[in-house]
Amino acid sequence: MKAIMKFVSFLVVGIILLSACGPRPQYKTRVGKKKLKHYNSIQYGKTEPKTFKSFKRQK
């Protein structure tokens, strides 16, 4: 019985750790926030959007 409980507890802890290490959604990253601001300004026409060279990360 104790062996089954250990296995289940390790399985639950493993699932929690693997799910916590996933990639961040784009809207929470720096580049994603820039894109969202740029596309919203184009779509709703509130202000003239800045011209960006590229949204890709500078090397």
The reported pLDDT for the residue numbered 6 is: 94
Regarding predicted confidence, which is higher, 59 or 28? 28
**Over the range 1-29, which residues count as b (16 or more CB within 10 Å of their CB) and which as e?**
eeeeeeeeeeeeeeeeeeeeeeeeeeeee
What's the pTM? 0.43
pLDDT value for 10: 96
Residue 34 is encoded by which pair of tokens? Answer: 């820039």
pLDDT digits (tens, 9 = 90+) for 3-58: 999 999 999 999 998 888 778 888 888 888 888 888 888 887 776 656 666 666 55
